[in-house]
Structure 1
Amino acid sequence: MGGTYVLVVNLPRAATIEVGALGRIEFDAGAYAYVGSAFGPGGFARVDRHRALAAGDRDTRHWHIDYLLGHSETTLETAITFPDADRECELADRLPGERVVGFGASDCDCTAHLLDAFGLETVRDAAVAEGGTLEFE
């Protein structure tokens, strides 16, 4: 099964991270929300892949979010899924937070699919209020 997902990420200290073709990006400490889609083979197994990378059990980086998740101090706090729903761009626009320009939006016209969020609970609760299912905490 696939659909759209939101990853809620915590970065306890500010960091400058090399993000593939985007180059070096300065991230403030705090909460981030990444909105992605998982409609290809394996569906939401992509979320498990992100979890493994964030836990240090995987090294391969394919997408912008992999560079943030692969940073040694980053933690993946939770994932919220929207089964069978193609809401990636809509949610990236609706969830609370400041857009990290260009991040995660190389295949659409959105400003970004990563948000510098206003707090872990705030963005988690907003995604659930949009109809998402909390996968883990």
Structure 2
Amino acid sequence: MGNAGDYMIILQLEEDKTISVGSLGDIHFPKGFYVYVGSARKNLDQRIAHHRALRKRRHWHMDYLRSACRFVGAIPIRTKEDLEHKLAHALSQIAGWTTENFGCTDCRCRSHLFGFAENPMHERDFLKIEEDFEINRLDRYF
């Protein structure tokens, strides 16, 4: 698949906080875990590294949130398919909350940022989504 695809970034916000998020203005974020869904049609590894870094020029909504959160992990999904919106929809079905209009100014999704009270990496529903998008979607090739 090369260095392209979609990804999920998992962050932890350790206390409630209001953050100024560029054009979205001030947003109140409750403490918890956040999963951000994004895509990189090229340079996937570099995009994930950008989101992992703390010091950077703020360009995307995620850059503003990242400055206040602990980086928990990244899940790359290497693909030429555009799965970003399907992945966002799947996460919206299991998330505790969403942040309206976050990370989705170029599409019709309600959000690309999903909140969880507990680490989603320990939740069966989240792991099922990860498995479906990383592995089970490849079943049609076998």
TM-score range, shorter chain: 0.7 to 0.9
Structure 1 residue 80, shift from structure 2 partner: 0.7
Structure 1 residue 132, shift from structure 2 partner: 3.2
Higher-Rg structure is 2
Structure 2 CA distance for aligned equivalents of residues 112 and 68 of structure 1: 14
Structure 2 CA distance for aligned equivalents of residues 59 and 25 of structure 1: 21
Structure 1 CA distance for aligned equivalents of residues 101 and 107 of structure 2: 10
TM-score (norm 1): 0.84
* 1:117 pairs with 2:119: no
Decide whether the 8 Å contact of 2:90 with 2:129 is kept in 1: no
Query: Which of 4, 7, 13 is 1:5 aligned to?
Result: 7
- Count of aligned residue pairs for this structure pair: 126
Alignment partner, residue 61 of structure 1: 58
Alignment partner, residue 43 of structure 1: 44
Structure 1 CA distance for aligned equivalents of residues 85 and 112 of structure 2: 7
Look up the equivalent residue of 1:47 and give its one-letter code. I
Look up the equivalent residue of 2:18 and give its one-letter code. T
Alignment partner, residue 78 of structure 1: 73
* Dislocated runs of 4+, deviation >4 Å: none
Look up the equivalent residue of 1:62 and give its one-letter code. H
Decide whether the 8 Å contact of 2:36 with 2:112 is kept in 1: yes
Structure 1 residue 102, shift from structure 2 partner: 0.5
Structure 1 residue 118, shift from structure 2 partner: 4.2
Look up the equivalent residue of 1:81 and give its one-letter code. P
Structure 1 CA distance for aligned equivalents of residues 58 and 110 of structure 2: 22
Which residues of structure 1 form unaligned runs of 5+? none
Structure 1 residue 28, shift from structure 2 partner: 0.3
Which residues of structure 2 form unaligned runs of 5+? 136-142
Higher strand share: 1
Higher helix share: 2
